[in-house]
Amino acid sequence: MAMVMIRCPRTGTDVSTGLEMDEGTWHALPIVTSKMHCPACGAEHVWSKTYAHLAAPAEVHPISGEAGHLRPPLS
């Protein structure tokens, strides 16, 4: 399963939304908005699939939810 990630608009850091899913589910999702507390800056961000990407779980820090050196996002 891959992690759904967004880029924090304040810090530019890729952070996990806390959601995990496979590519098939990702592609089938409608575009809706959601909110999340950002571990990078502490603010609440509104995001949608349009501004998110999938990352392999090994690329995401288990505590902070921040991405390390990411390979290109899964499409």
Q: How many domains does the chain have?
A: 1
pLDDT in tens, 42-67: 999 999 999 999 998 766 655 455 55
For the entire predicted model, the pTM comes to 0.74
49 within some domain: yes
The tokens for 24 are 């098939």
Residue 73 included in any domain: no
In angstroms, how far is CA 31 from the centroid of its own chain?
14
Residue 20 falls inside a structural domain? yes
pLDDT digits (tens, 9 = 90+) for 1-53: 899 999 999 999 999 999 999 999 999 999 999 999 999 999 999 999 999 99
Determine the Cα angle at 30 with ends 60 and 33, to 5°: 65
User: What domain range includes position 13?
Assistant: 2-59
The answer to whether position 25 is within a domain reads yes
Report yes or no on 68 lying in a domain. no
Question: Is 18 within the bounds of a domain?
Answer: yes
